[in-house]
Structure formats: structure tokens, C-alpha cells
């Protein structure tokens, strides 16, 4: 009897699975829908143009004869964005380098470099005289 009962249960289970498969299989799977409609508001307004450049000017200078420091800078900018300037530095080899530059529109940094000869080296006084030879050791009797 149990063998027949198991066979009956298996048959019912197969029929139940077939009915469930048919129930789920009658509809196609849900896909992606149509794209969302565009928003009803307009595009944001363009940003305001940047303000025109503010004219400016600055400068500084250091001239210290004792230490040999000699450098300076100056720069001016106008209301159209043009910048003109110059700076001067004392290089390690003693040569004074002057850079004059201009920046206008899309030209970028345009520089002209000039150098001044190094100041003459201080007079040499020659090598010191050699030290005297060591004194002989004292001799005690």
C-alpha cells in the first residue's frame, strides 16, 4: 500500500509543479519601460560673465651692499588683463639677472632675460707665509 501511496503522491506533485510552471510562464518577464519624459522646467540660465580684471601695481627692492643682496620686482596689471613686470636677482655665480615679462591674452608668459657681468672679485692678498719649523725638544743632563 505505501508503494502505491508514494506513486500517487509523486504524480500529484508532478501535476502541481506543472500547474505552477504554467501559471508563471504565461506572462513574459517584465522588461525596462520607456524612458522618463524630460523635465518640465527649462535649462538653468548661463552663469554671469566674470568681472573685468582690476588694475593693480606693486614693487619691492632689496639692496644690501654689505651682504651683496640685490634683488627687486615690480608688476602692473591693467583693466584688460595685460600684465607687465620685471624682476632682478643676484645669482649664485655673482651675475645679476633681470627678467622683463609680459602676459597678454592667450600669449602666455613672454620673457626677455638680460644679465649683467659679475662685480670684480676682491683683491687677493696672496697666501700666508708658511709656519716656522717646530722648535727642538729641550735636552736635560
pLDDT at 12: 87
Q: Does residue 1 register a pLDDT over 60?
A: no
Determine what percent of the chain falls in helix, strand and coil, rounding each to the nearest 5: 15, 30, 55
How far from chain centre, in Å, is Cα 105?
Answer: 22
Q: What is the dihedral of CA 27, 30, 34, 36, to 10 degrees?
A: 140
Reported as a single tens digit per residue, the pLDDT across 19-53 is: 888 777 766 666 777 888 887 787 888 999 989 88
Q: Mean pLDDT over all residues of the chain? A: 84
Question: How many C-beta atoms surround the C-beta of residue 99 within 10 A?
Answer: 15
Residues 6+ apart with CB under 8 A from 110: 101, 102, 103
Number of C-alpha atoms within 13 angstroms, CB side, residue 95?
9
Q: β-strand 69-77 against 56-64: which pairing, if any?
A: antiparallel
Question: How many C-beta atoms surround the C-beta of residue 135 within 10 A?
Answer: 6
pLDDT at 31: 72
Amino acid at each position: 500500500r505505501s508503494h502505491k501511496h508514494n506513486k500517487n503522491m509523486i504524480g500529484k506533485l508532478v501535476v502541481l509543479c506543472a500547474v505552477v510552471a504554467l501559471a508563471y510562464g504565461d506572462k513574459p518577464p517584465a522588461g525596462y519601460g520607456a524612458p522618463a519624459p524630460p523635465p518640465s522646467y527649462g535649462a538653468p540660465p548661463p552663469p554671469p560673465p566674470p568681472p573685468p580684471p582690476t588694475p593693480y601695481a606693486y614693487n619691492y627692492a632689496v639692496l644690501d651692499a654689505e651682504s651683496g643682496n640685490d634683488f627687486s620686482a615690480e608688476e602692473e596689471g591693467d583693466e584688460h588683463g595685460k600684465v607687465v613686470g620685471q624682476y632682478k636677482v643676484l645669482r649664485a655665480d655673482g651675475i645679476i639677472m633681470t627678467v622683463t615679462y609680459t602676459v597678454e591674452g592667450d600669449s602666455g608668459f613672454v620673457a626677455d632675460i638680460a644679465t649683467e657681468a659679475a662685480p670684480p672679485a676682491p683683491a687677493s692678498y696672496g697666501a700666508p707665509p708658511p709656519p716656522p719649523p717646530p722648535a727642538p725638544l729641550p735636552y736635560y743632563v
